[in-house]
Amino acid sequence: MGQRVFLAVWDINPLTGALSKNFRELNVTGASLPFGMTILPGKNAALVTDPALGYEIFDLSGQNRSGIFPFQAEGAMNCWALHSQKTDHVFLIDFGTSLINEVAVDRNLGSSIISQLALVKDSFLSDSQIATVHGNEYLYVLTLGKDLVTVLSLSGPGKMTVVQHFPLGDAVRKLGISEDPNQVQGLGVFVTGA
């Protein structure tokens, strides 16, 4: 039996911030396993990763421009999506293939892959964040299979480059804390004085 896949959208009361009692369903026919989501600024839409298919774009405007964008790579499991203000592109983090995919979305919600960066096989890319440091944007990716945080510069569209592989496991062990890379979850980036 197939499952119903949808995004639930609640209205917010502008005076109280309270959510409406009922929600609206947003559907993309054929969506399988929505996972990570990022809002597409200025497009009234959200890009949602789908580890089973690739990704979907949900049109929030009611114009019926939603769609599925499949990935053909064997073992692809796009799980996380982050929007870059600097490039106005979305970066998809693929757990299965160790690829970081840079995706452009046009004003009609069509999309294309601009660039791909392959990290070492079995990197098992996980939680990610984008942060701005002194006007430059960086993508931080928890790299579970190698016990690292991979840092990438996002200097412009199609210009993603690795600038550091931070040895997370070493740093944790220096604190006297035992860690299991299979149990590491979550990543936050806090920038001060930048």
pLDDT recorded at residue 185: 83
pLDDT recorded at residue 81: 97
pLDDT recorded at residue 102: 97
Q: What is the CATH number of domain 7-183?
A: 2.130.10.10
pLDDT recorded at residue 1: 42
pTM confidence score: 0.90
Q: In 29-186, at which residue ranges do the beta strands (DSSP E only) sit?
A: 37-40, 45-50, 54-59, 67-70, 78-83, 90-94, 99-105, 111-118, 125-133, 136-143, 148-154, 160-166
Greatest distance between any 2 Cα atoms in the chain = 55
**What does the alpha-carbon distance between residue 121 and residue 111 come to, in Å, rounded to a whole number?**
26
Q: Which of 130, 100, 125, 105 is nearest to 115 (CA)?
A: 100
**What does the alpha-carbon distance between residue 81 and residue 91 come to, in Å, rounded to a whole number?**
6
Question: Over the range 16-45, which residues count as b (16 or more CB within 10 Å of their CB) and which as e?
Answer: eeeeeeeeeebebeebbebbbebebeebeb
Q: Domain residue spans in the chain?
A: 7-183
pLDDT along the chain (194 residues), means of 10: 76 97 89 91 96 92 89 85 97 94 96 94 93 96 91 97 94 85 82 80
The token pair that represents 30 in the structure block = 């054929």
pLDDT recorded at residue 2: 57
